[in-house]
Amino acid sequence: MPATTKMTYREAVRSGLREALRSDPRVFLMGEDVGRYGGAFAVSMGLLEEFGSERIRDTPLSESTFVGAGIGAALGGMRPIVEIMTVNFSLLALDQILNNAATLRHMSGGQFSVPLVVRMATGGGRQLAAQHSHSLEGWYAHIPGIKVLAPATVEDARGMVLAALLEPDPVFIFEHATLYPLEGDVDESAGPPDITRAAVRRNGGGVTLITYGGSLGKTQQAAGQLALENIGAEVIDLRTLRPLDTAAILSSVGKTHRAVVIDEAWRTGSLAAEISAVIMEGAFDDLDAPVARVCSEEAPMPYAKHLEEAALPSADKIVTAVRSLF
């Protein structure tokens, strides 16, 4: 058995960053407060002292500027990892992301590659109100030309950084901010995971629960509650939101004949809607009930804790949605 180390999600990301920096001199990290402060979520703590200011670069508070600089560095042969503090701030760089990073390979006829990795915190649940609680990864999954990852486990938090750096085109990693204190066992000798595949986190034959990122824990909790009611829930962790592992989704639904999609984004125009369409197109004859969705309430995120909890998906809401299918 390989030796594993217990660490938090934030420590696992740091482990992946450290290995990448040690193994490839082209890799550098840039973003707001990543250096002297150690990162807004303490992910890059200690890396400035270990690797120096050439490779751990603090940037001005200008997302369009430093994402653009990352694109330029990638075009020039470097392997930049750009940290955007939280997903809402990424909107300030959407022109660079959509019109440059995602399109330059296509518009150059394959002559230019943009091997850029962009990391950011996403999601609600921390009482940071409407401007800092977005789950916009589904927006990014809409864009051709990029890969979108959502590590939900401590192991994936580390491994997906390494996997992203092997890609020739831009990769965006969405780290749910409530997961940073999560603890788990990590094999630091393990190589990058296969980011083309979803993961079955729990086997079951009665209903498929499809989710990703910060909602995985709630979904597993719901599956435990459903087991007490003799409903075997299979839990699919998508892991990669673009491209979706549609084969894994359809295979599971073909076995269970029911599906619930759990997505912290708003319901309208959501990734959950896309997954529902995938199931309807590819597994309609297998379904014994309509596809159900559990999403956040269609409102700006409240600040008050009890209202925020009411707005977000929960294990109880997932259980209720599953019961409605039987």
Q: Residue 193: inside a domain, yes or no?
A: no
| Residue 214 confidence class, pLDDT cut points 50, 70, 90 | very high
Q: Which of 186, 208, 229 is the last residue of a domain?
A: 186
Q: Residue 105: inside a domain, yes or no?
A: yes
For residues 87 and 127, state if they share a domain. yes
Q: Residue 191: inside a domain, yes or no?
A: no
For residues 14 and 137, state if they share a domain. yes
Write the pLDDT tens digit of every residue in 153-203. 999 999 999 999 999 999 999 999 999 999 999 999 888 999 999 999 999
Residue 231 structural domain: 199-323
Q: Which of 131, 163, 186 is the last residue of a domain?
A: 186
- Burial label, 60 (beta-carbon count in 10 A; 0-12, 13-18, 19+): exposed
- Distance, C-alpha 246 to centroid of its chain: 17
For residues 30 and 128, state if they share a domain. yes
For residues 77 and 219, state if they share a domain. no
For residues 237 and 314, state if they share a domain. yes
CATH code, 218: 3.40.50.920
Q: Residue 26: inside a domain, yes or no?
A: yes
Write the pLDDT tens digit of every residue in 246-256. 999 999 999 99
User: pTM for this one?
Assistant: 0.97
Write the pLDDT tens digit of every residue in 266-305. 999 999 999 999 999 999 999 999 999 999 999 999 999 9
Q: Residue 261: inside a domain, yes or no?
A: yes
Q: Which of 126, 160, 186 is the last residue of a domain?
A: 186
Contact 49, 191 (CB under 8 A): no
| Residue 3 confidence class, pLDDT cut points 50, 70, 90 | confident
For residues 93 and 207, state if they share a domain. no
User: At CA 283, angle to CA 267 and CA 193, rounded to 5?
Assistant: 75
CA distance 294 to 290: 13
For residues 167 and 49, state if they share a domain. yes
At 192 the pLDDT is 95
For residues 20 and 164, state if they share a domain. yes
Q: 240-242 and 147-149 as β-strands: parallel, antiparallel, unpaired? A: antiparallel
User: At CA 140, angle to CA 136 and CA 146, rounded to 5?
Assistant: 155
Q: Residue 32: inside a domain, yes or no?
A: yes
Mean pLDDT calculated for residue range 74-100? 97
Q: Which residues sit opposite 30 in a β-bridge?
A: 57, 82
Active-site positions read: 63, 132
Q: Residue 157: inside a domain, yes or no?
A: yes
174 is written with which tokens?
Answer: 């969405």
For residues 242 and 125, state if they share a domain. no
Write the pLDDT tens digit of every residue in 5-61. 999 999 999 999 999 999 999 999 999 999 999 999 999 999 999 999 999 999 999
Q: Which residues sit opposite 58 in a β-bridge?
A: 31
Write the pLDDT tens digit of every residue in 49-82. 999 999 999 999 999 999 999 999 999 999 999 9
Domain count across the chain: 2
Contact 31, 16 (CB under 8 A): no
Alpha-helical regions (H) of the chain: 9-23, 47-51, 63-75, 94-96, 104-107, 137-140, 154-164, 216-227, 246-256, 271-283, 305-311, 315-323
CATH code, 110: 3.40.50.970
For residues 21 and 150, state if they share a domain. yes
- With 90 as the cut, is the pLDDT of residue 1 above it? no
What's the 3-state SS for 103-172? CHHHHCCCCCCCCCEEEEEECCCCCCCCCCCCCCHHHHCCCCCCEEECCCCHHHHHHHHHHHCCCCCCEE
Write the pLDDT tens digit of every residue in 119-129. 999 999 999 99
Q: Residue 192: inside a domain, yes or no?
A: no
For residues 9 and 107, state if they share a domain. yes
Name the residue among 241, 262, 247, 291 with its Cα closest to residue 139: 241
Letter string b/e over residues 117-143, b meaning 16 or more CB atoms within 10 A of that residue's CB: bbbbbbbbbbebeeebbbbbbbbbbeb
Name the residue among 266, 262, 267 with its Cα closest to residue 301: 266
For residues 280 and 258, state if they share a domain. yes
